[in-house]
A = this chain, B = another copy of it.
Amino acid sequence: MVRAPLMSLDEAIALVLAQAVREPMAPEWVSTFEAQGRVLAQALTSELDVPARDNTSMDGYALNTRDLAQWPDCAPLKVAQRIAAGAVGLPLQMGEAARIFTGAWVPEGANAVAMQEDCELLESGGLRVLKAVSPAQWIRQQGEDVRVGQEVLRVGERLNAASLGLAASVGAHQLCVAKRPRVALFSTGDELVMPGEVAPGDMLPGAIYNSNRFFLRSLLISLGCTLTDYGIVPDRREATQDALKSAAQESDLILTSGGVSVGEEDHVKPSVEALGTLHLWSLAMKPGKPFALGEVRAGDGAGERRAHFMGLPGNPVSSLVTFLILVRPFLLALQGATQVQTKAFQMQAHFDWPRADPRQEFLRVRRNLQGGLSLFDNQSSGVLTSCVWADGLVDNPPQNPIRHGDWVRYLPFSELGL
């Protein structure tokens, strides 16, 4: 048997992303309250300056520095008014100061604020300024955060809490974002049992619990997808095709785990092939390797709706890592996100990994107290404890042995959405 050459991961990622951007998700308007994690589909431009006017960043006294020209020997200022945040003061007259509170607009005629701690209120009611004041001191300039007409959020940005705050600060109560991808999740494998259905002590020989379904659901939901869990694929061809067709009708992506290895015999591969197209790849990736990309038509008509199809390996760690490295960028690209790849950190390996592998490896590692990376002792693709222990992956190129102290590419799970 001739071994086919493995496909490089870079090539696979490029093909996956090309399929995603061919037909991106349509836009929709959502409340800014609900937009976390969504990808912006229409730029947000401000219709106002933020702050709208010069205002004070301190509690204190608004004044004009010309009145303090002879400081420290100048006459006390007359405290003529009191301006709370939200209130608008009167123009300041020569020799006057205004009591003012953080955020309040600086009144006309004032050009600086003296902190209250730097002032003394005299019994006469006058104000003595105890410290030199320079023009513009403690004043936030109009438009220093945002200017009228400024694009504050760009198309393709994935919105986090700060983005929502910024959108709100320019008065946007709704944002135009890409629709949530609808994902149909299938599990394959006759050996799979759902936790809760059979107690550990009653498991039949050969049976294993379906763990992939749990982390895939969780990852998909974190990515903002709407999930339909189809459970375990039925073990008859016709039923499988019906389930796939129905999923293609109502989903943007059909995702399976298991059933895509060369030797495996299940109904998913032939069913997808019958309903659309399927490419089975052997990726130069470890953990990982088998991966399927394709499309499923909802029916036989020429204009029928099609859903993307992706098949992950069945091994838990392979499935998890392949999701993070291929499916996640796909789902972000499908939403039009500008940044679909995780920014890596350069970190020092505090371990040896002498056996270079011909495949690109993703080693489960954890940052240690010495500022380096420690390696989980069992890197087998079946060992899910490695992913719970780890806080990220080392992305190690093919044929690259690692020596203690080498700088490596580290991808934190937090950046991968885990």
Contact = CB atoms under 8 A, between A and B. Distances in A.
Contacts of A201: 47-48
A119 B3 CA distance: 11
Dominant secondary structure at the A interface: loop
Stoichiometry, as copies per complex, reads: 2
Given A36-B222, A196-B174, A367 B343 contact: yes
A218 B36 contact: yes
B413 A165 contact: no
Contacts of A199: 47, 171
A168 to B, nearest CB: 4
Contact of A209 (B162, B169, B190): B169
Interface residues of A, number: 111
Contacts of A104: 191, 206
A382 to B, nearest CB: 5
Contact of A214 (B144, B165, B200): B165
Given A57-B382, A60-B263, A88-B206, 16 more contacts: A36-B222, A50-B208, A51-B382, A84-B265, A144-B378, A144-B380, A145-B383, A146-B385, A152-B388, A165-B212, A165-B316, A166-B211, A170-B200, A170-B209, A173-B197, A343-B391
Interface of A: 1, 3, 32-33, 36, 46-48, 50-53, 57, 59-60, 84-88, 101-105, 116-120, 140, 144-146, 152-153, 160-174, 189-192, 194-201, 203, 205-219, 221-222, 261-265, 314-316, 320, 343, 345-347, 367, 371, 378, 380-385, 387-388, 391, 412-415, 418
